[in-house]
């Protein structure tokens, strides 16, 4: 089976599972972690298992897992008593880090303790890594000012505290472009140089799947940031991801 690990509200994950139904794809959510059938024993994939829709699936039957969530959000655990949700979310996340790691290269991307998605880094880290690879970069600026004296700290957004994070501009300018890396392939409408740069960055970060943003489409465009959770709307990318997953065994 192909598994897609996602939060319960991830509509795109369910759409992928439907599109890949002939490949026995299924979505695994946190609700499945509250069912008998999960097993991890001292880092070995031997004997590991999971529970998907009430059915126990041995690790040996799993072709690959696509991860679509960075962590377990306590707010998603509606079946758990409210006062236990933070603890249970932390335990589920910790379990998944170990369980997914034990499955090795079958998991896209391989998790880190900080993120089930793999390298979910701030823009500063991506820019720093890219610069070390001689990839042109757009400088990141981040500024957090002290709260002004006399301002009520419990006040909402109407106050004057300035929190600027230019690396995470909410509106991506039209002139920017994105390259999606899937294994050794790169997709996007930018210059081929950007694809080479995106592949080099993904390789250095140990990411199989990565969306890399540049501030233009030409060869000189600078790297802005990267995200291990691509949007997966382009049909060619979706097909490439499915093929990549099927080739994991």
Partner 1 sequence: VTVLVWGLALEPPIAAVRAQLEAQHTPAIFIDQHRIADLGLRLLVDVDGVHGCLNTPDGAYDLRTVSAMYARPYDSRLLPGIQMCGSDSQAWRHAAAFDAALWAWTDVTPALVVNRLGPTSTNGSKPYQLDRIRGAGFELPETLITTDPLQAEAFWERHRRVIYKSVSSTRSIVQPLATEHRARLGNITTCPTQFQQHIDGTDFRVHVVGDEVFACEIRSAASDYRYAAESDVTMCTVRLPESVDYRCRTAARLLELPLAGIDLRRTPNDQWYCFEVNPSPAFTFFEEATGQPIGAAIARLLARPQPT
DSSP SS3 for 167: helix
Q: How many other C-beta atoms are found inside a 10 Å radius of the C-beta of residue 80? A: 18
Angle formed by the axes of helices 192-205 and 123-132, nearest 10°: 110
Among 60, 78, 133, 151, the residue binding partner 1 under the rule CB under 8 A is 151
Q: Is the peptide bond before 109 cis (omega within 30 degrees of 0)?
A: yes
At residue 156's C-alpha, the angle toward residues 151 and 157, to 5°, is: 95
DSSP SS3 for 5: strand
Stretch 27-46 residues interacting with partner 1 (CB under 8 A) = 33-43
Tell me if 141 contacts partner 1 by CB under 8 A. Answer: yes
Q: Which is nearer to partner 1, 2 or 224 (CB)?
A: 224
Residue 120, CB half-sphere, CA atoms under 13 Å: how many? 17
Alpha-carbon 229 to chain mean position: 4
CB distance 226 to 210 below 8 Å: yes
Q: Which is nearer to partner 1, 19 or 56 (CB)?
A: 56
Q: How far is CA 58 from CA 25, 31, 55, 120, in A?
A: 15, 18, 10, 29
Tell me if 121 contacts partner 1 by CB under 8 A. Answer: yes
Among 54, 150, 163, 174, the residue binding partner 1 under the rule CB under 8 A is 163
Stretch 224-243 residues interacting with partner 1 (CB under 8 A) = none
> Which tokens belong to 70?
């960075």
Choose the binding region for partner 1 from 3-11, 90-98, 227-235, 237-245 (rule: CB under 8 A). 90-98
Return the sign of the alpha-carbon dihedral for residues 64, 192, 233, 228. Answer: positive
Query: What is the rounded CA–CA span in Å between residue 133 and residue 130?
Result: 5
Minimal distance in Å, beta carbon 126 to partner 1?
Answer: 9
Minimal distance in Å, beta carbon 240 to partner 1?
Answer: 29
Minimal distance in Å, beta carbon 234 to partner 1?
Answer: 30
Query: What is the rounded CA–CA span in Å between residue 56 and residue 50?
Result: 6
Choose the binding region for partner 1 from 82-90, 177-185, 211-219, 227-235 (rule: CB under 8 A). 82-90
Q: Which is nearer to partner 1, 165 or 215 (CB)?
A: 165
Minimal distance in Å, beta carbon 143 to partner 1?
Answer: 5
Among 11, 22, 83, 143, the residue binding partner 1 under the rule CB under 8 A is 143
Tell me if 244 contacts partner 1 by CB under 8 A. Answer: no
Q: Which is nearer to partner 1, 112 or 193 (CB)?
A: 112
Stretch 172-201 residues interacting with partner 1 (CB under 8 A) = none
Q: Which residues bind partner 1 (CB under 8 A)?
A: 33-43, 51, 80, 87-88, 90-95, 97-99, 101-102, 112-114, 121-125, 127-128, 131, 136-137, 139-147, 151-157, 159, 161, 163, 165
């Amino acid at each position: 089976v192909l598994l897609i690990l996602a939060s319960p509200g991830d509509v795109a994950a369910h759409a992928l599972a439907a599109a890949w139904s002939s490949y026995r794809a299924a979505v695994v959510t946190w609700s499945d972690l509250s069912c008998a059938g999960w097993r991890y024993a001292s880092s070995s994939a031997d004997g590991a298992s999971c529970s998907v829709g009430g059915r126990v699936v041995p690790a040996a039957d799993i072709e690959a897992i696509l991860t679509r969530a960075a962590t377990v959000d306590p707010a998603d655990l509606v079946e758990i008593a409210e006062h236990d949700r933070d603890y249970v979310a932390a335990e589920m996340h910790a379990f998944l880090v170990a369980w997914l790691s034990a499955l090795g290269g079958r998991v896209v991307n391989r998790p880190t303790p900080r993120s089930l998605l793999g390298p979910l880094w701030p823009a500063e880290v991506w820019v720093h890594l890219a610069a070390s690879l001689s990839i042109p970069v757009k400088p990141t600026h981040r500024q957090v000012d002290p709260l002004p004296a006399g301002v009520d700290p419990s006040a909402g957004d109407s106050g004057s505290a300035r929190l600027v994070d230019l690396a995470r501009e909410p509106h991506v300018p039209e002139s920017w472009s994105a390259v999606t890396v899937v294994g050794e392939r790169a997709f996007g409408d930018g210059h081929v140089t950007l694809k080479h740069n995106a592949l080099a960055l993904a390789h250095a970060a140990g990411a199989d799947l990565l969306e890399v943003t540049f501030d233009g489409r030409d060869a000189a465009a600078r790297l802005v940031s990267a995200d291990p959770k691509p949007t997966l709307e382009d049909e060619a990318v979706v097909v490439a991801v499915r093929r990549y997953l099927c080739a994991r065994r």
